[in-house]
């Protein structure tokens, strides 16, 4: 966490996971991993066949989730994980980790 005027702010990351990541339980895998790490945010499929994740939490927990995204669940094939940091203020709109609508 980042100290900012006495407030502890979460780091916020956006991940786009490419490969064979739809139809293999990838979103449920991410949900389980993120929930165990007590991260906030969401995961969803994209129309392009990727999986998108927005997540907030402690740097160590984000590092663990990043490793899980690269590994993926059994039956998946992760070709690439594209990562972008988001503004810390984005964390304010995130709640308990959830799976957003399926396409």
* Known active-site residue 27: yes
Both tokens of 102, joined, read 């399926």
The residue annotated as part of the active site, out of 44, 45, 71, 95, is 45
SS3 43: strand
* Known active-site residue 71: no
The residue annotated as part of the active site, out of 4, 8, 18, 27, is 27
User: Counting beta carbons within 10 angstroms of the beta carbon of residue 66, is it exposed (0 to 12), middle (13 to 18) or buried (19 or more)?
Assistant: middle
Any idea which residues carry the catalytic annotation? 27, 45
């Amino acid at each position: 966490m980042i100290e900012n005027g006495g407030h502890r702010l979460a780091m916020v990351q956006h991940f786009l996971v490419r490969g064979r990541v739809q139809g293999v339980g990838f979103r449920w895998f991410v949900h389980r991993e993120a929930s165990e790490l007590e991260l906030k945010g969401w995961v969803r499929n994209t129309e392009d066949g990727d999986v998108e994740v927005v997540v907030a939490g402690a740097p160590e927990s984000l590092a663990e989730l990043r490793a899980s995204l690269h590994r993926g669940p059994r039956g998946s094939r992760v070709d690439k994980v594209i990562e972008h940091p988001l503004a810390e203020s984005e964390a304010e709109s995130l709640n308990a980790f959830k799976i957003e609508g399926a396409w």
